[in-house]
Amino acid sequence: MKNLKFDLKKTTGKARLGVLHTAHGKINTPAFMPVGTAGTIKAMTPDAVANTGAEIILGNTYHLMLRPGPNLIEKFGGLHKFMNWKGPILTDSGGFQILSLSSLRKLSEKGVVFQSHIDGSSHELTPESSIEIQYKLGADITMVLDECTPFPSNIEKTRTSMERSMRWAIRSKDAFIPREGHGLFGIVQGGMYPELRFESAESLKDIGFDGYAIGGLAVGEGQDMMLKIVDNITQELPSDRPRYLMGVGKPKDLIGAVLRGVDMFDCVLPTRSGRTGQAFSRKGEINMRNSRHKNDTRAIDPACNCYACENFSRCYIHHLIRSKEILGSTLLTWHNLHYYQELMHALRKAIASESIEAFETEYLTQLDGGDFPALKDK
């Protein structure tokens, strides 16, 4: 096996069912990657994450280069051994975090000099150093360094940003060390301008990558525009390579993107929501801080078989959240990650049975029903 291997098993409309083979195991697609920014999925153990059905997780170059540092992680045998995660890992290149977290940054053709959000120290990240850091981390899937275009931006600024990202993509590929079961993904940029997105996709195809990501979305443009851009650009990407929509998103976003040909996703939403008292369910989002759960003996979702729903009541989880107990964050995060993985499983099943559009209709109809209104307290 050279680099990564992607087997496209079936297509239903534009939706795709596949398997991505990596050095640390296979990933069934469509797939959702829990975000382990600093080498951990917050509030979860690696075994608990795997128990939710997750086959791959995401780590981040920006955070890990600042602490504990790539050299230390390499010394311990890479990120897999350092955090005791046995499955595949994708590492984001750090570009988005520099834009969103660093208050002082200086962008040039060489790369970006930025100030750490932790202690204010100065650091430089270039396409070459980003690839080197990800190599030391031992990532199965490495991302090119790109410039994340702010939203909104006019077409001139967006073109300048996109073209720089394409030049950085060439340098990233030149710096990447091919090895069995590992791969490099390019990132399509171009903001909200279809013609720039098309140019970016063509440039990346000319360079040649093991997979293609769609970046610069879910930044405030709204779902309709996001899905329109996704629909346009996925059809320009190679059918024999995985497609990854970065930083997305809500369950309805995932379904809409799968229907438009996306294979992979990541988002902090299920874990962040778990830490703020929010639970996802077949009937929509549930605020577990709400006092109406104080005497509710039901599970978060009566149809869910996650650890939290099989063992604890809404009443108890409400108590934990209101008491600011760590276990409350753990149980809600566990439930949310399980929910996202069950959604991915259901999407894969619907693609296999050629019923993906019916699945979307049924899912949206369930959401309209509210928080299990027909169910009585146990």
Q: For residue 326, how many C-alpha atoms fall within 13 Å in the half-sphere facing its CB?
A: 3
Residue closest to 78 by CA, chosen among 168, 181, 1, 212: 181
To the query of whether residue 266 is one of the catalytic residues in this protein, the response is yes
111 token code pair = 């790369």
Instruction: Catalytic residue, from 92, 296, 301, 371: name it.
Output: 92
SS3 state of residue 344? helix
Instruction: List, in order, residues 6 or more apart from 32 with CB less than 8 Å away.
Output: 54, 254, 264, 265, 266, 267, 340, 341, 343, 344
What interhelical angle do 155-175 and 194-207 show, nearest 10?
A: 10
Q: For residue 275, how many C-alpha atoms fall within 13 Å in the half-sphere facing its CB?
A: 8
Instruction: Catalytic residue, from 266, 296, 301, 371: name it.
Output: 266
193 token code pair = 């301008």
Separation CA 347–CA 340 (nearest Å): 11
CB 341 within 8 A of CB 265: no
Separation CA 341–CA 56 (nearest Å): 11
In DSSP terms, 57 is beta-bridged to 89
To the query of whether residue 7 is one of the catalytic residues in this protein, the response is no
**Active centre residues (catalytic):** 92, 266
